[in-house]
Amino acid sequence: MKYFIVTYGCQMNVHESEKIAGILEKLGYECGQSREEADIIVFNTCAIREGAEDRVLGNVGALKRLKKKNKNLIIAVCGCMTQKSKTAEYLLSTFPFIDIVIGTFNIPKLGDYIEAVKKGRQLELWEEGDIDEVLPYKRTSGENAWVNIMQGCNNFCTYCIVPYVKGREKSRQEENILAEVRAILSEGKYKKITLLGQNVNSYGKDLVPQVSFAKLLHDICKIEGDFVVSFMTSHPKDLTDDVIDAVANEEKIEKYIHLPAQSGNNRILRLMNRKYTREDYIKIIDKIKAKIPNCRLTSDFIVGFPTETEEEFEDTMSLVRYVHYDNIFAFMYSPREGTVASKMDGQVDDKVKHERVNKLLALEKELQKEVK
Ligand code: SAH
Ligand code: SF4
Ligand code: F3S
């Protein structure tokens, strides 16, 4: 019996798929090379932008012919997109050949749902789940091992769906993370540990007693072995000096920080609920540059946020010019149902969003040609 997993979205979701693969292998499935030869196909979805959801719908729709050929094929859809009950119900009613629709918190029970499919279609969306379950991961990222340190997000940036589909921040116990890192390293084939969380800088604030992200970094670096530590994603409002110092001083930590700015304009940052100003952001960048020479820096930007004017967009351009990133990811604002920004007046035309994203990416291309 073979499985095939199709993954959309962020690194955390890629890691989530490693968990799904681990569960399926425990059930006796082997990794298949294509949809055609699979006995079970799992779509692990993303809801961050409309485009991500459209791709899922198109690709799930295309499975109809496979199901026709193989009546026993099991098709499961899970992840951030299905955590929204409206979307989950839409999927089930539009695609009668889907067997299982589950949300982000139901994955540990995937085996039970597969068993139950024999009795009929499965739809279940839990509201929230625990983080510390010890599941077998099937690691798929070569010499790099992803390690989840927390789940969820408390920030409610006004454009973002993540807090609604991933729940509130929950940190794993530090000793469980350290034990996982030790176990990974003892296998001998991993050279890099990448710590994952939507906002790694707020790691440990919900633990009793609290543990800081900087302490976690130092404790991981104390583990013996020849390996590199990396992490993502950092939120500028929580990137504290002790974390910057850890990156600067710990040899094992990669000199790289992904620090999404989203916009270079203070009015837009306020509307986005990012809780820092352009000046705060620049201060952090200057500190990083001073303390960590040659630190690689990357960022995410959203263009065409509701009411963004041409001048306000120019502030994003000038911030990109000032920081001179190693790379940026630029996204056109995509309204997500249920978020605050989707209900704001002054939604920006698609044409304008396209122009701005192209302008920003062209600037980035120019900057990459220049010596830093
Ligand atoms: N937790 C991370 C980002 C997770 S989502 C952080 O706070 O930085 C990854 C990126 O997708 C975000 O940084 C943002 O730039 C983009 N994004 C999120 N919601 C979006 C939306 N509704 N439209 C366009 N881009 C969005
Ligand atoms: Fe979304 Fe903001 Fe949380 Fe990042 S910090 S996941 S952008 S709400
Ligand atoms: Fe990641 Fe997309 Fe979910 S970016 S957290 S998979 S909405």
Can you give the residue ranges of every domain in the chain?
2-124, 143-254, 257-372
Within the chain, which residues score under 50 in pLDDT?
A: none
Q: Using CA atoms, how far apart are residues 208 and 205, in angstroms rounded to an integer?
A: 8
Which pLDDT score is estimated for 371?
80
Question: Ligand 3 centre from 35 Cα, in Å?
Answer: 23
Contacts of 301 (CB under 8 A, 6+ apart): 260, 261, 262, 263, 316, 320, 328, 329, 330, 331, 360
- 286: number of Cβ within 10 Å: 12
Cα 120 to averaged position of ligand 2 atoms, centre (Å): 36
Query: What span, in angstroms and rounded, lies between the C-alpha atoms of 215 and 330?
Result: 32
For residue 132, the model assigns a pLDDT of 66
300 with 48: CB under 8 angstroms? no
pLDDT at 40: 97
Nearest-CA residue for ligand 1 atom 7 is 235
Question: For residue 317, what is the DSSP state?
Answer: H
Question: Ligand nearest 300 Cα, by number?
Answer: 1
- Residue 26 CA neighbour count, 13 Å, CB half: 16
Provide the CATH number for the domain formed by 143-254 in this structure.
3.30.750.210
pLDDT of residue 129: 77
Q: Using one digit for the tens of pLDDT, what is the confidence trace for 70-108? A: 989 999 999 999 999 999 999 999 999 999 999 999 999
pLDDT value for 150: 96
Within this chain, domains 2-124 and 257-372 share the same CATH topology: no
pLDDT of residue 124: 86
CATH class for the region spanning 257-372:
alpha beta
Distance (Å, whole) CA 236 – CA 234: 6
pLDDT, residue 121, reads 83
Architecture of domain 2-124: 3-Layer(aba) Sandwich (3.40)
Stated as kind and residue range, the H or E segment containing 349 is none
Q: Ligand 2 pocket: which residues have CB below 6 Å?
A: 153, 155-157, 160, 162-163, 198-199, 235
Question: Tokens 């139950």 sit at which residue?
Answer: 116
- First-to-last alpha carbon distance for the chain, in angstroms, is 52
Ligand 1 pocket residue status of 336, Cβ below 6 Å? yes
3-state secondary structure of 256: strand
Give 155 Cα–ligand 2 centroid separation in angstroms.
6
Going by alpha carbons, the residue nearest to atom 19 of ligand 1 is 160
